[in-house]
Amino acid sequence: MTAPSAKDTSRPAPAAKAADHSGHCIELGANAPLRLDCGTELGPFPLAYQTYGTLNAEKTNAILVCHALTGDQFVLGPHPVTGKPGWWEIMVGPGRPLDTNRYFIICSNVLGGCMGTAGPAEKNPETGKPYGLDFPVITIRDMVAAQKLLIDHLGIDQLFCVIGGSMGGMQVLQWATSYPERIFAAVPIASSARHSAQNIAFHEIGRQAIMADRDWKGGAYHESDDQPLRGLAVARMVAHITYLSEKALQQKFGRELQDRKDVTYGFEADFQVESYLRHQGISFVERFDANSYLYITRAMDYFDLAEVNEGMLPQAFVNTPVRFCLISFTSDWLFPTSESRTVVHALNAVAANVSFVEVLSDKGHDAFLLDEPEFHATLEGFLNGAAEHRGLTWS
Amino acid sequence: MTAPSAKDTSRPAPAAKAADHSGHCIELGANAPLRLDCGTELGPFPLAYQTYGTLNAEKTNAILVCHALTGDQFVLGPHPVTGKPGWWEIMVGPGRPLDTNRYFIICSNVLGGCMGTAGPAEKNPETGKPYGLDFPVITIRDMVAAQKLLIDHLGIDQLFCVIGGSMGGMQVLQWATSYPERIFAAVPIASSARHSAQNIAFHEIGRQAIMADRDWKGGAYHESDDQPLRGLAVARMVAHITYLSEKALQQKFGRELQDRKDVTYGFEADFQVESYLRHQGISFVERFDANSYLYITRAMDYFDLAEVNEGMLPQAFVNTPVRFCLISFTSDWLFPTSESRTVVHALNAVAANVSFVEVLSDKGHDAFLLDEPEFHATLEGFLNGAAEHRGLTWS
């Protein structure tokens, strides 16, 4: 989500057919369907994923990376739809903290996504047409249950680590509560054990923007010429503001004008920050599905690990064998440090093995995707220590 | 903007014809048109206003109240369109800080508004049809220039005070720089001398939401059956989040569900905060015009008192005779205290008479509209002191 040279272009273009570009894809739930939180059974269903590096003979060096709201399995690029770099190239690769010379990195497109895993844009096997709103509403727990089937399929008894930022961090926490014996270490970054009222509110704006678009057609737009691209672009724009800090916006753009010396007294993008946001909206709709945006934001809103434990968050982690490392960023106002601290307190209350670092950063929530040396050093240090405890060695 | 019992209703209903309900209305600029910042001359044009209390014989007890983005001249109600109380009943009236037994309170609908003053929803005298986007883009300085014509018309040489919150505070600061000899005291509340990058960004979201609505029709919707109510509602919803603090949202709604025991696994307003936002959007479009929203947000974005003084904010206030009182609120993240402090520093740099109070509040930007005893006491104290200096007495 770093800033490209911001440009106005004309209309947004629709997303390319993502399923054609989804990389590895397996069919899951054929014999035993996945029972979702909403009560629906799903299966068989496709799950798309990528891997990087090599699984060792003992199958002990696997790291599952969980992507955020608008991410996908393409941690490294080029992205098959956009041709751009992957979303975590800064973190994953030879010599990077998630070193592909050491670890086997797995990342799957979440349930409800639009890059090959079952979601509203995928074909409903019963009708042969895209699900649209007939796709069942899914939860973070459902996403993780699907990932667990993938890990079973790969024959991995225990993941060395599950890691992710934002919604990825929610999945990490869900892994630690759903399948604590299946993971050695867990790294939730810039995340929370429950979605706050303000965050639900911002998601609701995005959904309302999509559903207000006449081209949304109650979710049944997939076979139409027109797609709800304007609404989806607005949803992306408002979300994008929440990913940056006020200071980052001020430093990056301030009140600078876009390719002009004076304001135009009109409604063009006079200011660079407007032009930047429009660019974010337009480029997003090239690769994302509007209904997927509804489903995935909803899954985040529903996430509350305390609520499913009668309001007692520590109950979610009783007797956990998992080693935790939580990381937050000082200028992140979407998932502020207080949210991570709440999780740390709960882990402390059950005497879990937990470390916690609040990284000084002015980059806002997006810091987990950016070059933040203290963050990268923290992560590398934690992984090295955990690898030693796990008995991982490399020649 | 306080919370009603939040309810989902069906579709938003369009705004009633505001001009029929605008109260006092005068024609200005008939002989000498108003030259706007954009270069266009406007005139004759209507300006709608309300007054409360009685102007004394010396005409020295007049307070001009400047309204915020979505406010209007109806400081006290009932509002002619909605039937609801006025927007500042808590502050204005007998025995209130802006005591109508002492002061003559004036409030006019801003230029660009939709409650009777010239704006995009008003008839263009040249065509007999609503202006739409043919209305010239206006600035805060233009709004204030129009208000000054009203004050001339009322025969008031010097206003005792100009006061307003948010965009109202911008107008107050503009009054102090455009017409310093015409005001005795100035109270900008929860405001700023320039709109920040983040605030421009949020405004741009609102404008994009409106312009993304097919019913907007390039601004030419006034003679159509359909109006861009969905887009306008989304614009209102996103703005509304910025008016509240994260803490206020959490305390008021948290993750409470709306009239249900469990989530519905769908896209209804499961959470109270969603229901509340939808209600805010729907009730707003009953009284506001979408093009007005574009014009007034634009005027705020363009506001930068330093920029028009070669980047030197103190230059805006050199030799000012005005007594200033600035007020900010600790939990206001839309116009944070740092913005008021910047103005205070500039005023100090030119040895102006200025007091400044940061009020401890968890109500966010909306605090200036709400019951905040320290705020009200501060304001009453400042007005009493200023009245004494002005030689105002009451039997």
Using H for helix, E for strand and C for coil, what is the string for chain B?
CCCCCCCCCCCCCCCCCHHHHCCEEEEECCCCCEECCCCCEECCEEEEEEEECCCCCCCCCEEEEECCCCCCCCCCCCCCCCCCCCCCCCCECCCCCECCCCCEEEEECCCCCCCCCCCCCCECCCCCCECHHHCCCCCHHHHHHHHHHHHHHCCCCCEEEEEEECHHHHHHHHHHHHCHHHEEEEEEECCCCECCHHHHHHHHHHHHHHHHCHHHHHHCCCCCCCCCHHHHHHHHHHHHHHHCCHHHHHHHCCCCECCCCCCCCCCCCCEHHHHHHHHHHHHHHCCCCHHHHHHHHHHHHHCECCHHHCCCHHHHHCCCCCEEEEEEECCCCCCCHHHHHHHHHHHHHCCCEEEEEEECCCCHHHHHHCCCHHHHHHHHHHHHHHHHHHCCCCC
A275 has a pLDDT exceeding 90: yes
| CATH no., domain A199-297 | 1.10.1740.110
In this prediction, residue A20 carries a pLDDT of: 46
Partner-chain contact B205 A253, CB within 8 Å: no
Partner-chain contact A37 B265, CB within 8 Å: yes
A14 has a pLDDT exceeding 90: no
User: Catalytic one among A213, A289, A301, A332?
Assistant: A332
Nearest Cα of chain A lies from the Cα of B18 at a distance, in angstroms, of 24
Cα R_g (chain B), whole angstroms: 21
What is the CA angle B346-B348-B349, rounded to 5?
Answer: 65
In this prediction, residue B21 carries a pLDDT of: 52
Interface mutation vs chain A, best among B42, B230, B238, most A CBs within 10 Å: B238
In this prediction, residue A394 carries a pLDDT of: 86
Band (A4; pLDDT cuts 50, 70, 90)? very low
In this prediction, residue A223 carries a pLDDT of: 87
Domain boundaries defined on chain A: 18-195+306-390, 199-297
Tell which wins on pLDDT, B120 or A395: B120
Residues of chain A with pLDDT > 90, as a percent, come to 92
In this prediction, residue B16 carries a pLDDT of: 44
Nearest Cα of chain B lies from the Cα of A31 at a distance, in angstroms, of 25
A83 has a pLDDT exceeding 50: yes
A7 has a pLDDT exceeding 60: no
Which residues in A lie closer than 8 A to residue B213 (C-beta atoms)?
212
- Any catalytic annotation for residue B355? no
- Any catalytic annotation for residue A301? no
Partner-chain contact B237 A205, CB within 8 Å: yes
Q: List, for residues B130-159, the tens digit of each pLDDT value.
A: 999 999 999 999 999 999 999 999 999 999
Fold of B18-197+305-390: Rossmann fold (3.40.50)
In this prediction, residue B23 carries a pLDDT of: 80
Q: Rounded distance, CA B308 to CA B306, Å?
A: 6
A295 has a pLDDT exceeding 90: yes
In this prediction, residue A22 carries a pLDDT of: 57
Tokens representing A245? Answer: 């800090």
In this prediction, residue A23 carries a pLDDT of: 80
Which residues in B lie closer than 8 A to residue A207 (C-beta atoms)?
267
Minimal Cβ distance to A273: which of B201, B267, B298: B201
**A positions 324-343 inside 8 Å of B (CB):** 333, 336
Q: Are B81 and B31 in contact (CB under 8 A)?
A: no
In this prediction, residue A9 carries a pLDDT of: 35
Residues of chain A with pLDDT > 70, as a percent, come to 94
The two beta strands, B353-359 and B323-329, are parallel
Matching CATH number, A18-195+306-390, of 3.40.50.1100, 3.40.50.1820, 3.30.230.70, 3.30.70.2740:
3.40.50.1820
In this prediction, residue B223 carries a pLDDT of: 87
Helix, strand, or coil (residue A176): helix
A15 has a pLDDT exceeding 90: no
Cis before A78 (ω within 30): yes
Tokens representing B388? Answer: 């004494």
First to last CA, chain A: 36
Interface mutation vs chain A, best among B10, B141, B211, B265, most A CBs within 10 Å: B265
In this prediction, residue A8 carries a pLDDT of: 34
Q: What is the mean pLDDT of each run of 10 residues along chain B (395 residues)?
A: 35 45 85 96 96 97 98 96 96 97 98 97 93 98 98 98 98 98 98 98 98 96 94 98 96 96 95 97 96 98 95 97 98 98 98 98 97 98 97 88
Partner-chain contact A246 B205, CB within 8 Å: no
A285 has a pLDDT exceeding 60: yes
Q: Rounded distance, CA A331 to CA A372, Å?
A: 13
Closest CA to B281 of A209, A273, A327, A245: A209
Quick one: closest CA in B to A266, which residue?
A: B137
- Any catalytic annotation for residue B166? yes
